[in-house]
């Protein structure tokens, strides 16, 4: 059995035992008795007794990389991809949210950063050394896309966090299999933000000719030279669902499940449910079929719980070979090409809202997206006439017309 000390932004919040794939977690009672303590997850709030694997396992497994990215990280560390304890020992120091894991007896501290220039970043990407940097940074981020994390300094230069030091930005590595993926996601994220969705700030940056998408972390607060962690959890973690079951058709959370969590937990459920409806509509507009339960989160502060800024909004529709089946159904329909008014009406029933309310949010989204589409087209900092972006814009225009007719 392997044992880990679990820290919550520097405070020892509990103990995690790992035996094979089975997890057991127990809170530090003294910390949980404090008035401003936040449980790690709504799926296992504070209590004296330990939580078994069925209760806490989905949350902790949800902190680790997935699929090919996980395999690459594991191979670079010479650890089996199924060795979760070994992975946490090597990369559990800088995770999503405020949680970090340290081998029993170790504690976070003594963080340092290594300056890194554009040429070094380019070489690291082109030479395929990104996965190997996870061990150096002790970085564990969920998802299947290869990525690494950096700290942006006050003078706008970049540093590589070492040994679990907190980062401020996530850098997504270009994927040769999908043309213009960085520009695609940049366009969709910027358009979403302009259209009124609370989407994470993104930049499209070229490091010596290599374009990458850089995302500002909403779960970090950088003030001066210090960085504090802000807790968050995705909706699979919040509902106790395994990351491997993130798609609704495989047991993952539905839009109705997300709505129930927001109604139960959010400090402003009306505003957050409106954002959820617009996120659903926007994913339809851009053809994002991969908006599953791990691609939406809640963010926690000492005085509030809110729907987190959106991320990973990209048009998957334009890539051959990717599924065109929605990750979460709309009114019983997974196929975007067949979604019409009656499905949005059923969605309204599913989430317990009047159709008039849902339709109003969708039409407001259509209007704001149309208004900002021309401006966003001109702000894509790459060749605006690439085949991929032409397809994305064409799809957006067609989907706006379809959504404008909902209930009409």
Residue 232's closest CA among 152, 151, 295, 143? Answer: 295
312 is catalytic: no
Chain centroid to Cα 173, Å, comes to: 15
The residue from 53, 219, 272, 290 that is catalytic is 290
- Residue where the block lists tokens 């005085």: 303
Phi, psi angles (nearest 5°) of residue 216: -75, 130
DSSP code of 294? G
Within 13 Å of residue 261, how many CA atoms lie on the same side as its CB?
A: 27
Residue 388's closest CA among 99, 203, 175? Answer: 175
Chain centroid to Cα 238, Å, comes to: 13
**Per-residue tokens: 334:** 């997974």
Contact 11, 34 (CB under 8 A): no
DSSP code of 315? -
Q: Are strands 297-301 and 231-234 parallel, antiparallel or unpaired?
A: antiparallel
- Residue where the block lists tokens 């010596």: 208
Residue 378's closest CA among 358, 391, 398, 393? Answer: 393
Catalytic residues: 290
């Amino acid at each position: 059995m392997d044992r880990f000390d679990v820290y919550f932004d520097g405070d020892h919040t509990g103990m995690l035992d790992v035996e094979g794939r089975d997890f057991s977690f127990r809170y530090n009672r003294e910390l949980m008795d404090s008035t401003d303590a936040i449980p790690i997850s709504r799926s296992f709030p504070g209590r004296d007794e330990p939580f078994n694997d069925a209760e806490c396992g989905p949350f902790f497994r949800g902190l680790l990389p997935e699929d090919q990215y996980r395999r690459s990280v594991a191979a670079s560390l010479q650890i089996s991809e199924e060795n979760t304890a070994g992975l946490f020992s090597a990369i559990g120091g800088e995770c999503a949210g405020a949680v970090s894991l340290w081998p029993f007896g170790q504690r976070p501290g003594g963080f340092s950063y290594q300056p890194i220039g554009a040429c070094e970043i380019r070489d690291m990407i082109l030479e395929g050394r990104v996965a190997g940097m996870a061990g150096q940074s002790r970085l564990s981020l969920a998802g299947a896309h290869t990525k690494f994390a950096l700290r942006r300094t006050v003078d706008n230069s970049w540093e590589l966090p070492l040994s679990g030091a907190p980062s401020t930005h996530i850098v997504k590595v270009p994927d040769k299999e999908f043309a213009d993926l960085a520009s695609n996601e940049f366009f969709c994220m910027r358009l979403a933000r302009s259209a009124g969705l609370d989407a994470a700030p993104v930049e499209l940056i070229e490091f010596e000719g290599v374009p990458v998408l850089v995302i500002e972390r909403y779960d970090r607060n950088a003030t001066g030279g210090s960085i504090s962690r802000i807790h968050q959890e995705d909706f699979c973690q919040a509902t106790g669902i395994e990351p491997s079951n993130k798609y609704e058709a495989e047991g993952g959370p539905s839009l109705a499940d997300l709505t129930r969590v927001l109604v139960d937990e959010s400090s402003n459920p009306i505003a957050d449910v409106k954002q959820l409806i617009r996120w659903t509509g926007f994913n339809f507009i851009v053809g994002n079929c991969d908006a599953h339960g791990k691609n939406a989160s809640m963010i926690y502060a000492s005085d509030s719980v809110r729907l987190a800024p959106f991320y990973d909004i990209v048009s998957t529709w334009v890539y051959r070979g990717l599924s065109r089946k929605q990750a979460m159904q709309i009114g019983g329909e997974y196929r975007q090409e067949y979604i019409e008014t009656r499905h949005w009406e059923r969605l309204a029933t599913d989430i317990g809202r009047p159709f008039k309310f849902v339709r109003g949010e969708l039409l407001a989204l259509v209007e704001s997206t149309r208004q900002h589409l021309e401006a966003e087209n001109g702000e894509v900092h790459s060749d605006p006439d690439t085949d991929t972006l032409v397809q994305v814009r064409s799809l957006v225009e067609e989907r706006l017309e379809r959504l404008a007719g909902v209930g009409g």
